[in-house]
Structure 1
């Protein structure tokens, strides 16, 4: 059963505020494997959004061309392998990958860390061994369900997204964030949220990549808690959707926006949340 609504007070609880004793590791390190030669911007947008949501460090371990663009935008990003607390995988990629790359990604999932699986990594759902959030749009949910033995169509999902988000969470054993004008979040235990997007201007290329970055950051900053309280995953997914929608509203102010505008508005949204809290 999906619970209607998600409030600013609830979203504020998802923000990990550093203390005087915090360092870049205790604040959360997000590992990112996103983007491709064909869609390099997805890497830039996800990393930009994650960096503005409050992680201590980002390790970008994707292809060379997106890596160069990420570093040009965010020189503080680390491109060397090492310790992480959560993963963001798949934005701007295709499931048509070579065997060596698939083996690498499966190896990351075997670390049992919290993970966001988006776009080209949704086929790896059966390999996820830690807390996982899937972030499909309507069309991407269809093959996810098919792999779990559930047949449907994009039109059917669009007609009743709440039902299909709940069905997908139960079928895959993961938390599902189904993107749309109203974002539906459901977990395998039946916990769910419906989060209304900020406004229609958010329907723009790359907006989902920004959402993935926000969510990845929240998972990294709450990684230890997620091991103890799996239900927190749905709350963090709802908080990411809320922050993303509000950042769209702040960036737009009633006019057109692009995805990078949304990412750049995230700190203002978080400041308001913390001031209100």
Structure 2
């Protein structure tokens, strides 16, 4: 397989298109109808990934986040976001794998990941859970960077060197979506959202300051929040995954722009980006009115 096997034009993802995927709560909505996201992420080695993912999801606008992970990581999540819930219960979507390493996956984490995959709800599969894709039967959107996509395809016997993906990210995003049967949000200087059926969406890159540790964890949280808000719709129509993923990337990029602008066009922290997520969502909500 090569990226040249598929020739499908792309659409540039705009604020106007993204606005259609922002679910603004009605007066009779409550925490369960607004969307509940289950999160199995972070590890003792990388607890910050869970904190950033939960933080980003809650700033994007949903009813509840359920965090399931090591107690020490859960304590860090609660210290930052006391409204997070650390017990089992119903969810509309799952976020899996941020800040985890398959080579260092304990039995408890493996059980949590298996249970989430078996739940049958739509999945955001990040970093340390990409190896579990073959087990998923529900709609999936994965969020690899170029190196992770190279490794994932290589594990399937597909020759996809990092250099080749760097040179043709859009081609490899749509080829990977077709080969793996899942939506792909391929992160990079320009982000691409690809669907197994061939749809390809281009999301313009944000400020260069965005290339920093934790940015992908925050993006996964944004995507998880949007997916939870549209969980039932995605079960009925998995083609919604690519536009939801593209909208998450747009919101994430816009928040980065706002965070940088607040610092005179300079650098920002990922928590600084997260603080701007409500502004980015609000801009889209206003467009959609």
TM range (shorter): over 0.9
Aligned to 1:250: 258
In the TM superposition, what is the alpha-carbon distance from 1:237 to its structure 2 partner?
0.3
2:46 aligned partner: 39
CA distance in 2, matches of 1:108, 1:273: 31
Count of matched residue positions in the alignment of Structure 1 and Structure 2: 277
4+ aligned runs moved over 4 Å, structure 1: none
Rounded Cα–Cα distance in structure 2 between residues aligned with 1:236 and 1:93: 24
1:268 aligned to which of 270, 274, 279? 279
**Please, which of 244, 260, 284 is the counterpart of residue 236 of structure 1?**
244
* Residue 158 of structure 1, CA deviation: 0.8
Corresponding residue of 1:157: 165
Mapped to 2, the partners of 1:190 and 1:233 lie a distance apart of 12
Does the 8 A contact of 1:205 with 1:258 survive in 2?
no
What does 1:1-277 align with in structure 2 at a 5 Å threshold?
1-96=8-103, 97-99=105-107, 101-253=109-261, 254-277=265-288
Contact 1:145 1:151 survives alignment (8 Å): yes
Contact 2:40 2:67 in 1 (8 A): yes
Q: Any stretches of 5+ residues in structure 2 without a counterpart? A: 1-7
Pair 1:103–1:64, CA change in 2 (3 A): closer
Per-residue CA shift, 1:82-138, capped at 9, x if unaligned?
A: 111100011111012135532431221122211111010010110111110110001
> Kindly tell me: are residues 80 and 198 of structure 1, through their superposed partners in 2, closer, same or farther at Cα, counting changes over 3 Å?
same
- The two structures, once aligned, show a CA RMSD in angstroms of 1.1
Q: Distance in 1 between matches of 2:271 and 2:38?
A: 20
TM-score (norm 1): 0.97
- The whole-number CA distance in structure 2 between the counterparts of 1:118 and 1:42 is 11
Q: Can you give the 5+ residue segments of structure 1 that lack an aligned partner in the other structure?
A: none
Secondary structure at the residue paired with 2:160?
coil
Shift of 1:12: 1.1
TM-superposed deviation, 1:2: 4.6
Q: Report the Cα distance in structure 2 between the residues aligned to 1:239 and 1:198, rounded to whole angstroms.
A: 14
